[in-house]
Structure 1
């Protein structure tokens, strides 16, 4: 058996140029596949993290009717009780209460719809890190009257800057329209430009002045220390507050759940397609090898080598040829992902800023789980045996008496 391994290894180097070309093709193919896969995983991971930490949070709690019409009147009546319970929950990392209302935003030249987010600046900063996304101006602080935070993309479209005046109109809890003048106190940018164009932020205390209600909360968002506890925590909260609507991030943003569930399967499909393309080249290479060695194979069978050994020899040659390229490709892919995973890859110069429209940051950190390399190894093994069958069967069909006259 050891002799068969030695013979197969020597055979693939009898035509070094062809072997090197095939090995290079496998190496480049696997490296490119791993790089693209790592890039996709990095993009999906960073989108998930930024969506959870900057916008969705792990769990959100609303008045059930608020989810239907987004009316400011549908508030969480037991906000104080809920807040006390969340403060004593050791699994909750941070939480914040918001008052949300649809309204109109008017400048001297333009008017457009907006979503007014009235926040507690301290708890909002702990929950979503909004204070870390300020590009110009200052974050909201208690005591600063009629200040508003707007997204950079919205500021550019409305030609607003720090100190610019705008008018916000919304419907209060009595159903009356209320208008008030605000000054732009800060300009922010998150990883989702669509939401940046839609949402503006003001103080809850400021909204309370126009509604006459000191406690006005429509939405509670909370982060957990352990993301895997999201289902158990949401079920516990729903049981304690059955008249409220408790939703997890998967309920709020199904596309995030889909990405998490289908991401690995998509990567396997991509690698399978790449390996399938490489398999055709490998089959062609091995067929050429068989046809060039018709006399040799016929002579081996004529002097007593049985067909099983011939089949094994061709299979081992295919195995060695593939594994040399596969090991080199996976090693290069691993090193590339390791380096870029630490330094990051900025896609902004190649149009990466457009990704912000869909919630993807332009800076991506490629990454792959170790299990993916194990799965890839299994795919390579399958490709080897699938690619070896046809050339090996062609070799087995040779008749020694005819083959030895083919010199």
Structure 2
């Protein structure tokens, strides 16, 4: 084996210019693939952290059937047992019990449909970023009572000022109507037009009293230390909570549209990179084919003196592997350096792109990732396609007859 590797190494440098061009092509494709996949996966993680972090959580605890029928009838009691379960798990970074309700909110002659987020400020400020999105007034705090924070579009539509009162009309858990007056103490801009048109933040205790739903919550959104811990924590919690009629769902099960959007974008990105890798394969095919054709006479002589076709084919295969591995190693290193730089210095977007990001509640920046699977998948993909591209010239060598090789010109 050592002899064949040494033989292959000497052969690839017989035409240094052609070999270097091929290595550069592999290196370029590898580094570009690593950078693009890094930007993709980094952006996905950023989007998930931002959206799932504020809304669904990495995992979410809810009553069985709530996802399909999100009504007050599907709420559950936030008991000390559940709280202790969450507090005792080291993978849980923060959590927020929440109660949701559809209501009608009015001020003077103006009335609009609203969605109340009943939140406990003590949990919420550790869990979400809502309190940092206040554009006027203040967010709720532990002493808030009879106070609400409105989405900025709803605030504008109701033509309010900070300190004004609104009347909220809803349906309690018992089916009866309930109404009350609440003081507007803040305005929040979430970045999602639909929510900004209807969201109302209210203290969890206030909403429970308003709906006659003592100590009940719709969901408990949970943040974990890492995405990789989701399945482990889900299983752990499910074993304990399922017998109590509760289910534990991942962010992808709760935010199905976000998951589908990421999957579609990921598929289109992989398709583009596959096209790039195939182009490199043709470059390798050209290099190896030219190298093999130039040496048919030499191969014919080798066969005539007793060298086996299988061994010659193995040498040619090793040549392809050596060229591919050199290009892959250098490309992964350079791509990793670029990704590391982008992680430390995110690309700040400007102009229309920045506006689009800000409208959806994101900071206008591109982030990257050094996830090991980026390098592993890229290296294996390019190495595999390189080996596939070498099959034709390797086959020609394997089937070569000594006399035909000697006479080849």
1:387 to 386, 389, 392: 389
Per-residue deviation, 1:167: 4.6
Aligned residue runs from structure 1 range 80-119, under 5 A: 82-83=79-80, 85-87=82-84, 89-91=87-89, 94-104=94-104, 112-119=112-119
Is the contact between residue 103 and residue 113 of structure 1 (CA under 8 Å) also seen in structure 2? yes
1:313 to 312, 315, 321: 315
**2:330 counterpart of 1:331:** no
**2:254 counterpart of 1:252:** yes
**2:235 counterpart of 1:236:** no
For structure 2, the residue ranges without an aligned partner over 5 or more in a row are none
Aligned residue number for residue 187 of structure 2: 186
Aligned residue runs from structure 1 range 172-211, under 5 A: 172-173=171-172, 175-176=176-177, 178=179, 180=181, 182-183=183-184, 185-189=186-190, 195-204=195-204, 207=207, 211=210
Per-residue deviation, 1:340: 2.0
| Change in 2 beyond 3 A, CA 1:65/1:292 | closer
State how far apart, in whole Å, the 2-side matches of 1:166 and 1:23 are: 70
Aligned residue runs from structure 1 range 6-405, under 5 A: 6-57=6-57, 58-62=59-63, 68=69, 70-71=71-72, 76=76, 78-79=77-78, 82-83=79-80, 85-87=82-84, 89-91=87-89, 94-104=94-104, 112-141=112-141, 147-151=147-151, 154=153, 158=157, 163=162, 167=166, 169-173=168-172, 175-176=176-177, 178=179, 180=181, 182-183=183-184, 185-189=186-190, 195-204=195-204, 207=207, 211=210, 213=212, 215=214, 217-223=216-222, 227=230, 228-239=232-243, 241-242=244-245, 245-249=246-250, 251-254=253-256, 274-347=276-349, 351=353, 354=356, 362-405=364-407
Q: SS in structure 2 opposite 1:113?
A: strand
| Change in 2 beyond 3 A, CA 1:212/1:349 | closer
For structure 1, the residue ranges without an aligned partner over 5 or more in a row are none
Q: SS in structure 1 opposite 2:55?
A: helix
State how far apart, in whole Å, the 2-side matches of 1:67 and 1:406 are: 73
State how far apart, in whole Å, the 1-side matches of 2:67 and 2:267 are: 37
Per-residue deviation, 1:29: 1.0
Under a length normalisation based on structure 2, what TM-score does the superposition of the two structures give? 0.76
Q: CA RMSD in A?
A: 4.3
Per-residue deviation, 1:41: 1.9
State how far apart, in whole Å, the 2-side matches of 1:35 and 1:109 are: 55
Cα-to-partner distance string for 1:212-263 (whole Å, 9 max, x where unaligned): 8483634241536664223322442343x44xx4442354335677899999
State how far apart, in whole Å, the 2-side matches of 1:39 and 1:66 are: 32
Per-residue deviation, 1:390: 0.7
Under a length normalisation based on structure 1, what TM-score does the superposition of the two structures give? 0.76
Is the contact between residue 205 and residue 214 of structure 1 (CA under 8 Å) also seen in structure 2? no
Cα-to-partner distance string for 1:173-230 (whole Å, 9 max, x where unaligned): 264374757536132437x665455522123465578x38483634241536664223
Per-residue deviation, 1:37: 1.6
Count of matched residue positions in the alignment of Structure 1 and Structure 2: 397
Is the contact between residue 149 and residue 188 of structure 1 (CA under 8 Å) also seen in structure 2? no
Is the contact between residue 296 and residue 405 of structure 2 (CA under 8 Å) also seen in structure 1? yes
Q: SS in structure 1 opposite 2:69?
A: helix
